[in-house]
Amino acid sequence: MKVSDFTARLAQHLNVTSVGEMGEGDSLRLADAVNAGLHDFYAKAPADLRRVPLLGSLLARKAVSLQLTPGATVFSGWEVEPSYEYCSVLIGGVRNVILPGGSLLFPWSGSDGEFGAEAFGDVAWFGGDMAFESLCSLPVVDGVRKLELAEEFPVGAVIRPPTHYRLEVFGQTEAARPRRVLRVWPLPDVPYRVQVEAQMEAVMVGVGDLAAGGRVLPVEDRFVVRFLLPFCLWHLKAHRLWKLPENNKVIDDHYGVAMADIEGLPLGKVVPFNQVGTPYGF
């Protein structure tokens, strides 16, 4: 479920006709209620409830032109699409990594000027801001081939169908939370689909996510109404625009029931998604 669809549901309990008409302060308090509910869910839920099937892409190789300066990491000439962030780029046969904001992981060691390069979709793109803590299954490429885990990749730029994967972490020294990415090897020669089951982490919802946009809640749809909705409503009842304070006792009761239910769920309660490769009809 999209964050905007969920907050529209929450807004029915406020004295507003839509989330879009709320002021900045009221919107911030709504976002706080959603984040508090997500924290409750992730703090109390068994690990199985945080397992979400992800379907993404390894994008096609892309020819780009980069303006580079010796010793610098920032480049110009190509406005990087989010789907290529953290992907590998070959510049004169030398591998580097594309970072958000139009920069490279390693400083450019060549001369000053404009250079042709190739960006490769060797990082799985799941869309939006899907943040995961760990993987619960082997990634499956194009529905038929499981990738093997590798602690290190061989040195050199090899281009052919990927066979291995590893998780890499970026931004661990920055103020923002670390970003985990699923990288494959060799560099993909053509686009591929990739499917994996991951244990998600609770991401912060911002004011800009409330009324529009495609950001998705990091909770499976079947658990949104059962758990996340009562958690968020319980935190939302302190909002100054809360519509029916006489219903607070009901909100408290629903919160208590949901909390007891989620804490009482045994491990293994959630059935994992069907692994790709099972013959049709079985």
One digit per residue, the tens of pLDDT, for the chain of length 282 reads 889 999 999 999 999 999 989 999 999 999 999 999 999 998 888 877 777 788 889 999 999 999 999 999 999 999 999 899 999 999 998 999 999 889 999 999 999 999 999 999 999 988 765 677 788 888 999 988 899 999 888 877 788 899 999 999 887 544 456 788 999 999 998 999 999 988 877 777 888 888 877 678 878 888 899 999 999 999 999 999 999 899 999 999 999 999 999 988 765 544 333 333 333 232
Give the pLDDT confidence score for residue 34 in this predicted structure.
95
Predicted pLDDT of residue 172: 53
Looking at residue 169, what is its pLDDT? 87
List, in order, residues 6 or more apart from 87 with CB less than 8 Å away: 59, 97, 98, 119, 120, 121, 122, 123
Residue 175 has a pLDDT of 45
Q: Quick one: which of 173, 170, 180, 226 has its CA closest to 201? A: 180
Q: What does the pLDDT read at residue 10?
A: 95
**What is residue 267's predicted lDDT score, i.e. its pLDDT?**
56
pTM above 0.75, yes or no: no
